[in-house]
Chain A
Amino acid sequence: METTIAQIQTIPLQYYILFCSALFSIGVIGVLAKRNALVIFMSVELMLNSANLLLTAFSAYRNDPAGQIFVFFIMVVAAAEVAIGLALLVVVYRSTHTIDINALNRLKW
């Protein structure tokens, strides 16, 4: 444990922040720019994982394990959410024969 933390701390914190921001931005752009629902879904996961990574980094730097425990919780919830999200996608595909989100334009007033 001590070694892992020491290893993590060999890389300066701002690197983690920059990396995670980059990862998060990629996710955001993916969500905004892509039309494929599956890719959007993956982008969302990317954002989630960038947040996880940052939590771990901070946790290590502050010597506070709570951040890492949070990560476990997030991963559990994310797993559940993935299951539901994929199931929804399957249902959408069954009824529209596409996963292009522009086809899902009937969710309005």
Chain B
Amino acid sequence: MELISILLLVFPLLGFLTIGLFQKQMNRNLSGVLASSFIFLNLVAAAFLFGFVTASNQTLEVPLFDWIKFADITIPFALTIDRLSALMLLIVNGVGLLIHLYSIGYMKEDEGVNRYFAYLNLFIFFMLTLILSSNYLMLFIGWEGVGLCSYLLIGFWFKDRANNDAAKKAFIMNRIGDLGFLIATFILFTTFKTLSISEIAAKASLMPSGDLTLMAITLCLFVGAVGKSAQIPLFTWLPDAMAGPTPVSALIHAATMVTAGIYLVARSSVMFVLSPVTMDVILVIGTVTALLGGLIAIYQNDIKKILAYSTVSQLGFMFMGLGLGSFSGAMFHLTTHAFFKALLFLAAGSVIHALSNEQDIRKMGRLRHKIPFTFALFLIGAIAISGIPPFAGFFSKEVILTAAFEHGLGMGLIATVISLLTTIYMFRLIFVVFFKPESKELQANHHVHESPKVMLYPMAVLAILSMIAGFVQPPKLFSETQGFDNYLSPVFAKSNSLVAASEHALTVQTEWMIFIFPLLIIALLIFLSYKRFVNNKELVSPTGIQSLFAHKLYVDEIYDFCILKPVTFISDIFRGLLDQTVINGFVNAVGSGTLFVGRKIRLLQTGNVGVYLVLMVFSIIAILFFNIIL
């Protein structure tokens, strides 16, 4: 069992090394197959571990070696496999494998295909390090590693300057969050004298609720999560990250890496439940992000940007779940979201692929006949994300919605609105791309083609998962067995025991309301959306407050004005004044001074032996004189 968990890290690293080191020599068709087979082996191993952990209900600790050991600090390099990490293992390896397979078709024509698969395997390696780590420092390695891979893959087509800028933006935005994580690690170590996640959880559970140190730690950890999971105010990198290849957007920027923040909070749930202030902060930030992300998504015209803002919104929704204390609800939504968002991205990739790299939905239309399979898959994804039963999104959203209504009516209504926003932007996308009369550009383009099977089959698997994954946990109305909650209950048992059970237990009538009411509105919204977009030849350009959302709330511009401009201004001053004048002046003065003195002293070197002798004698006399005197 321990060997298997080590193999989980070995396979992707091996894949990265073989493909990465021999990328010049390797056959371009081979690398994809090789990378996929490594991930397949990983998936088998993950399934094995999942089965073991589920059946035995124990936490597997695999110490590998002592990594840092001096004075009283010992930080081991060890793996922890409990039910939470086993779940994440399945998601990462499962979705990862499907996206690897899809990439074989998608990246077929690309010259850098070997480099691409090397990075992809490296990403899986770091993601698994993050998931399996038993202490916060090792988790941080994985955390940084996935950030690195994200950077490398966003800037994959590095010949285009915009892609490089997007990559740098993602990297720098993440650094801000990472600083929070790092500070949290320092405080953790000074407080608990250990970094082991399980030991910290055990020690923290004895602390009183509302402890200030815990609050500082959790807030700093949450700053890290905000950076990685693209929440307000650090969310602007995620839409720009769409500059990378579409499968990358699906894997890293929708299904796995961006959920690391949620994983981190869930992992540290004991500390979070003990600091109510942080929970409220999470709830507020999650709600605002989910709301704004959804609103912005409605007015975007780039197919990938819409999905990106949708991801921002859904991640916000997961954070709402965390903030409401429904850790397993957030994890449930994370799981289903990984399936349908990956599916949506891959289907969008298929659309883009079919239209030879066209991403503007205004230039699409009536594609449902030309690429029927992609349409069907996209539709499944859209239904799943909109929360229409019996597809997966409905079930996971239901859990968070219920938690929101238990928190209070206002919160519940806001959560419902956020959930309904999904329907609006997804069905706008569907109707514009697949139903609307085709645009002039599209009419001229006769090369619209369905994607190859190697791309369609992985999407089909994801579609099936998006359809059935929800049945793990039907709403409380219909079933007493809460499969997902039960599965994760050992992980969150401690944190759940620390908070009092919610006093607002919902009545059956309310639960029916939560169930029926949104569905009616969803149906209405789809109908309105159909009326509005299907026969409209051109999309109306947004006006008034709409243009505010269309321009992404001008957040980029605000950051540009509030942070970038002042920093550039101060940098310019420092460059001109301090660097160019003071420091450069000093350094140059040393140089030119030496030169000047040398030029003068050089004249002593007359070449005349007599003069040298005189100088020598007088120098010796001078030295003796000073030696005697002083």
A residues adjacent to B (C-beta < 8 A): 28, 31-32, 35, 37, 40, 101-102, 104-109
Contact in complex: A104, B605 (CB < 8 Å): no
One of B602, B608, B617 near A104 (C-beta < 8 A): B608
Give Cα A35 to B602, complex, Å: 24
Give Cα A31 to B615, complex, Å: 11
B606 contacts across to A, CB distance below 8 A:
105, 108
A109 contacts across to B, CB distance below 8 A:
602, 605, 607
Contact in complex: B609, A31 (CB < 8 Å): no
CB distance from A37 to the nearest CB of B (A): 8
Nearest-neighbor residue (CB-CB) of B602 within chain A:
A109
Contact in complex: A32, B602 (CB < 8 Å): no
Please provide the chain B residues from 594 to 613 with a CB less than 8 Å away from any CB of chain A in the complex. 602, 605-610, 612-613
Contact in complex: B617, A32 (CB < 8 Å): yes
- CB<8 Å pairs between A and B, sample of 29: A28-B617, A31-B613, A32-B613, A32-B614, A32-B617, A35-B610, A37-B609, A101-B608, A101-B609, A101-B610, A102-B608, A102-B610, A104-B607, A104-B608, A104-B609, A105-B606, A105-B607, A105-B608, A105-B609, A106-B607, A107-B607, A107-B609, A107-B612, A108-B605, A108-B606, A108-B607, A109-B602, A109-B605, A109-B607
CB distance from A86 to the nearest CB of B (A): 16
A101 contacts across to B, CB distance below 8 A:
608-610, 613
A31 contacts across to B, CB distance below 8 A:
613, 617
B residues adjacent to A (C-beta < 8 A): 602, 605-610, 612-614, 617
Give Cα A40 to B612, complex, Å: 13
B614 contacts across to A, CB distance below 8 A:
32
CB distance from B75 to the nearest CB of A (A): 61
Give Cα A35 to B607, complex, Å: 15
B617 contacts across to A, CB distance below 8 A:
28, 31-32
Nearest-neighbor residue (CB-CB) of A92 within chain B:
B609
Nearest-neighbor residue (CB-CB) of B606 within chain A:
A108
B610 contacts across to A, CB distance below 8 A:
35, 101-102
Give Cα A31 to B614, complex, Å: 8
CB distance from B221 to the nearest CB of A (A): 67
CB distance from B616 to the nearest CB of A (A): 9
One of B602, B605, B613 near A40 (C-beta < 8 A): B613
Give Cα A31 to B609, complex, Å: 11
Name which of B602, B609, B612, B613 has the most chain A CB atoms within 10 A of its CB: B609
Nearest-neighbor residue (CB-CB) of B611 within chain A:
A105
Name which of B607, B610, B613 has the most chain A CB atoms within 10 A of its CB: B610
A106 contacts across to B, CB distance below 8 A:
607
CB distance from B21 to the nearest CB of A (A): 55
Closest 10 pairs (CB-CB, A-B)? A108-B607, A101-B609, A105-B607, A105-B608, A104-B609, A107-B607, A108-B605, A101-B610, A109-B605, A31-B613
B608 contacts across to A, CB distance below 8 A:
101-102, 104-105
CB distance from B603 to the nearest CB of A (A): 9
Give Cα A107 to B607, complex, Å: 4
B609 contacts across to A, CB distance below 8 A:
37, 101-102, 104-105, 107
B607 contacts across to A, CB distance below 8 A:
104-109
Nearest-neighbor residue (CB-CB) of A107 within chain B:
B607
A28 contacts across to B, CB distance below 8 A:
617
CB distance from A21 to the nearest CB of B (A): 13
CB distance from A38 to the nearest CB of B (A): 13
A104 contacts across to B, CB distance below 8 A:
607-609
CB distance from B599 to the nearest CB of A (A): 10
CB distance from B612 to the nearest CB of A (A): 8
Give Cα A101 to B605, complex, Å: 15
CB distance from A87 to the nearest CB of B (A): 17
B613 contacts across to A, CB distance below 8 A:
31-32, 40, 101
Give Cα A43 to B607, complex, Å: 21
CB distance from B523 to the nearest CB of A (A): 96
Nearest-neighbor residue (CB-CB) of A43 within chain B:
B613
B605 contacts across to A, CB distance below 8 A:
108-109
Nearest-neighbor residue (CB-CB) of A29 within chain B:
B617
Give Cα A109 to B614, complex, Å: 19
Give Cα A108 to B604, complex, Å: 9
Nearest-neighbor residue (CB-CB) of A108 within chain B:
B607
Other than A35-B610, A102-B608, A105-B609, give 19 A-B pairs with Cβ distance below 8 A: A31-B613, A31-B617, A32-B613, A32-B617, A101-B608, A101-B609, A101-B610, A102-B609, A102-B610, A104-B608, A105-B607, A105-B608, A106-B607, A107-B607, A107-B609, A107-B612, A108-B605, A109-B602, A109-B607
A37 contacts across to B, CB distance below 8 A:
609
Give Cα A107 to B606, complex, Å: 8
Give Cα A28 to B602, complex, Å: 26
Give Cα A72 to B608, complex, Å: 34
Give Cα A101 to B610, complex, Å: 6
Nearest-neighbor residue (CB-CB) of A31 within chain B:
B613
CB distance from A103 to the nearest CB of B (A): 9
CB distance from A89 to the nearest CB of B (A): 12
Give Cα A108 to B601, complex, Å: 12
